[in-house]
Amino acid sequence: MELILETLGLAESAQLLSLSPPGWGANLLRGLANSLKIAFGAFGFGLLIGLFGAYGKLYGGPVLRDLLAIYTTVIRAVPELVLILILYYVGTDLINKASSAMGYGRVEISGIVAGIWVLGIVQGAYSIEVLRGAILAVPPGQIEAARAFGMPPLMTMWRVTIPAMMSFATPGLANLWLIATKDTALLAIVGFSELTLETRQAASSTRAYFTFFLAAGGLYLMVTLCSGVVFAWIEKWARRGQPSLREGRS
Amino acid sequence: MTTLKSLMIPHRIVMMLLFAALALWCALSLRWDWIPKYAPLALEGLWTTIWILAVTTVLGFLLAVPLGLAQAIGPWYLSIPARTFCTIIRGTPLLLQIWLLYYGLGSLFPQFPWIRSSELWPYLRQAWPYAVLALTFSYAGYEGEVMRGAFSGVAKGQLEAAKSFGMRRFTMFRRIWLPQAIRNVLPTLGGETILQLKATPLVATITVIDIYAVSSRVRSDTFIVYEPLLLLAVVYMVIAGVITLAFKRFENQVPR
């Protein structure tokens, strides 16, 4: 192994990337773990917003519908970077005001929580649209049948709408998950030590820019490709019992 | 979509009044005294944002056409590299790509004396060529995937008809295939251009002074946090609105 690296001239890079202290591998992996945590949280938070938002957009009153339309339009028209800064400052300000109103001092907000809050709000706007489309694609008869049986609305959502819309929503949600993993890189600008920032710190202190940025790119790519496999599997599971799209086509 | 009549519903009038009140409150009680001082810089920044957006979308689209074509009908030695390029661009964050190009290439180039003495060196020392390169690649990567679908989506009969008229391959591509592919992707293209607009502030991280960088500068100079950011968000919304309208007009002109 070492011989191969030596002959390829990669021994130095391997040393820089090694997991034990002189190398920076452990830092990169810690950054990756932080990135994934934030991406998972933001995706989940976004899904929650998306589900209720989609219901609001479909079944809500006119005021709620207009407010949600403004939310989705504004979020999708403003760069994520600007939104992250605005939401970050608003969030920290609000929490500090609340805590000082209740008599506590200033609170330090953990980077992960702030990242999840910020990216979750951004993700929410996109998932509202994805889930709204998916709910609309469910044959209305199925939901009407559940209603006719006297199912309460929440149970209808849990037992009928969500399972039936899963197969329509998975491709869009897979896309959103990929956007979430890539958007975590933007948090580097606000100073969270996720993968991109860790990489930059490692790169600028060793001057080995290519090694580290390529390594980080490889890690991101691995996450993307693995997610692709997982989502293909989820989609297959969500489509179980449905006729295959391929067979229907000529 | 939004006609005057659809706006004249009671709750919408109330909401618009509330919004106008909010805007008025923002205008009166927030601090805007920094605007005259930074206006020239902001205009320059706005211009930088717009030209970077325009140049990278045009170049990116020109690169996306061969990428899409290679993936749709190319032989394996063209389609595999094209697909790999698209996967890598789409699978890694743009910020990382920008930093890789700027810091990576930027630290590599000075090591070669012939680059330092070349005509291009004054440009290579600045940040914007790397920003333009990274954004162009990014747009090409995303759009290449879209164009692949668009090229395969053109009806076979059209191409066969062109062929049976004895059209040469390039003429067929120029007159039949490309126009129809572009017509089919126009709505997607508009969306991708807005995504590209939203990607431009990332170039501020490698010291290109765009409109976002100006707002950060105001924030760090004057410690005013919300006002520059709010104005910045409004500026981006206006540009996004203009892009949407332009693409809508363009779509209406294209015969279906």
CB A54 within 8 A of CB A135: yes
B26 falls within a domain: no
Which pLDDT score is estimated for A152? 92
Q: Which residue, chain included where needed, has tokens 């028209």?
A: A77
- Compute the nearest-CA separation of B240 from chain A (Å): 6
The single-letter code of the amino acid at B210 is D
A62 and chain B in contact, CB less than 8 A: yes
A5 falls within a domain: no
pLDDT in tens, A203-228: 888 888 888 888 899 999 999 999 99
Which pLDDT score is estimated for B243? 92
> What tokens were used for A57?
């957009």
Of B46, B56, B54, nearest in space to B236 by CA: B46
Count CA atoms closer than 13 A to B108's CA, side-chain side.
11
Return the H-helix or E-strand segment holding A177. Answer: helix A162-183
A15 falls within a domain: no
Q: Is the dihedral of CA B22, B23, B24, B29 positive or negative?
A: positive
The CATH number given to whatever domain includes residue B135 is 1.10.3720.10
Residues of chain A with C-beta less than 8 angstroms from the C-beta of B201: 79, 81-82
B125 falls within a domain: yes
Q: Verify whether the Cβ–Cβ distance A79 to B198 is below 8 Å.
A: yes
Residues of chain A with C-beta less than 8 angstroms from the C-beta of B232: 82
- Compute the nearest-CA separation of A160 from chain B (Å): 32
B18 falls within a domain: no
Task: Enumerate residues 6+ apart whose C-beta is below 8 A from B163.
Answer: B172
Total-model pTM: 0.86
3-state DSSP assignment of residue A115: helix
Q: Which residue, chain included where needed, has tokens 């890690």?
A: A219
| Alpha-carbon torsion angle B207, B212, B213, B219, nearest 10 | -150
Gyration radius from chain A CA atoms: 22
Of B216, B190, B47, B196, nearest in space to B134 by CA: B196
pLDDT in tens, A21-66: 667 778 888 889 999 999 999 999 999 999 999 999 988 888 899 8
Rounded to an integer, what distance in angstroms lies between the CA atom of residue A229 and that of residue B210? 38
B86 falls within a domain: yes
A153 falls within a domain: yes
Q: Verify whether the Cβ–Cβ distance A182 to B201 is below 8 Å.
A: no
B6 falls within a domain: no
A26 and chain B in contact, CB less than 8 A: no
> What tokens were used for B238?
């206006």
Which pLDDT score is estimated for B226? 84
B116 falls within a domain: yes
Nearest CA in chain A to B227: A86
What stretches in chain B show pLDDT beneath 70? 1-3, 256
Rounded to an integer, what distance in angstroms lies between the CA atom of residue A199 and that of residue A209? 9
> What tokens were used for B27?
């205008």
Interface test with A, best of B52, B96, B215 (most A CBs within 10 A): B96
- Compute the nearest-CA separation of A243 from chain B (Å): 23
B108 and chain A in contact, CB less than 8 A: yes
What stretches in chain A show pLDDT beneath 70? 1-12, 17-22, 105, 244-250
Which pLDDT score is estimated for A248? 47
B97 and chain A in contact, CB less than 8 A: yes
Q: How many domains does chain A have?
A: 1
B224 falls within a domain: yes
Which pLDDT score is estimated for A1? 59
Residue B201: which of A74, A77, A79 has the nearest Cβ?
A: A79
- Compute the nearest-CA separation of A93 from chain B (Å): 11
In terms of residue numbers, what domain contains B228? 36-253
A140 falls within a domain: yes
For A157-172, b/e burial (b = at least 16 CB within 10 A) is: beebbbebbbbbbbeb
B195 and chain A in contact, CB less than 8 A: no
Rounded to an integer, what distance in angstroms lies between the CA atom of residue A117 and that of residue A19? 31
Q: CA A122: distance to chain centroid? A: 9
> What tokens were used for A90?
């608003």
CB pairs under 8 A between A and B: 107
B10 and chain A in contact, CB less than 8 A: no
The CATH number given to whatever domain includes residue A54 is 1.10.3720.10
Rounded to an integer, what distance in angstroms lies between the CA atom of residue B224 and that of residue B237? 21
In terms of residue numbers, what domain contains A80? 24-240
B225 and chain A in contact, CB less than 8 A: yes
Count CA atoms closer than 13 A to A37's CA, side-chain side.
16
Q: Verify whether the Cβ–Cβ distance B197 to A79 is below 8 Å.
A: yes
Of B131, B136, B133, B111, nearest in space to B121 by CA: B111
What is the SS3 assignment for chain B?
A: CCCHHHHCCHHHHHHHHHHHHHHHHHHHHCCCCCHHHHHHHHHHHHHHHHHHHHHHHHHHHHHHHHHHHHHHHCCHHHHHHHHHHHHHHHHCCHHHHHHHHHHHHHHHHHHCHHHHCCCCHHHHCCCHHHHHHHHHHHHHHHHHHHHHHHHHHCCHHHHHHHHHCCCCHHHHHHHHHHHHHHHHHHHHHHHHHHHHHHHHHHHHHHCCCCHHHHHHHHHHHHCCCHHHHHHHHHHHHHHHHHHHHHHHHHHHHCCC
Q: How many domains does chain B have?
A: 1
Which pLDDT score is estimated for B114? 78
A112 falls within a domain: yes
A16 falls within a domain: no
Which pLDDT score is estimated for A249? 45
Which pLDDT score is estimated for B110? 77
From residue B229, give the alpha-carbon distance in Å to each of B27, B30, B70. Answer: 14, 12, 42
B16 falls within a domain: no
- Backbone phi, psi, residue B165, to 5°: -80, -5
